[in-house]
Amino acid sequence: MTSGLLEHIVRFVVLLGLQVLVLDHLVLFDGMMVPLLYILFLLMLPFNTPPWAMLLLGAVTGAAMDLFGHTPGMHTSACVLLAFLRPLWLRLVAPRDGYEFGLRPTVQRMGLAWSITYLGPLVLIHHIWLFFFELHRFDRIFSTLSRSVLSALLTLVLCLIAQYLTGRSARGRG
């Protein structure tokens, strides 16, 4: 087993555990802010992760959250959507020189502005999909959009903090 694969497995377990054991129990502003840090696993996979692998990992990540959260299919569908959109979005926000093979999109490597541009829309789309799917109706569109935006902002900040706290130098491969 390569150290890169082991690192991804550890990241998956740690983020999922943190989400299930800690973050899912936080009630912020009467439920208007829901931190969903577990999606950072998908967002930090290497640039060259094949689309089929992204979709598979999105399904596994979402299914794990659905299993622990008793939310059949909600997180799975949101994570598969995120996994589908990620390669498309990476192409749109690619630097002029492209991405270096095998590297991960970290704030240390790519910079804060690029990281916000990369993470922000994907996190927001994931949250909008998840919260509308959770509600099953559109009569509360403004409160659901507010919850999505506030939760996405909180998740984005947590993603950036997590990357700063766990990041290596920009020269590191992982």
pLDDT tens sequence for the chain (174 residues): 577 889 999 999 999 999 999 999 998 999 899 999 999 999 999 999 999 999 999 999 999 999 999 999 999 999 999 999 999 999 999 988 888 888 999 999 999 999 999 999 999 999 999 999 988 777 789 999 999 999 999 999 999 999 999 876 444 445
Residue 7 and residue 23: Cα distance in Å, rounded? 22
Helices (H), the chain: 3-21, 40-43, 51-69, 74-92, 107-110, 112-135, 141-166
**Angle in degrees, 0-180, between the axes of helices 74-92 and 51-69, rounded to the nearest 10:** 150
**Residue keyed to tokens 């996190």:** 123
Q: What pTM was computed for the model?
A: 0.92
What SS3 state is found at 84?
A: helix
Rounded to the nearest angstrom, the gap between the alpha carbon of residue 28 and the centroid of all alpha carbons in its chain is 20
Q: At a CB cut-off of 8 Å and minimum separation 6, what does 31 contact?
A: 147
Long-range contacts of 7-16 (CB under 8 A, 24+ apart): 7/174, 8/41, 8/45, 11/41, 11/44, 12/41, 12/61, 15/40, 15/41, 16/41, 16/61, 16/64, 16/65, 16/68
Angle made by CA atoms 5, 25, 117, in degrees to the nearest 5: 55
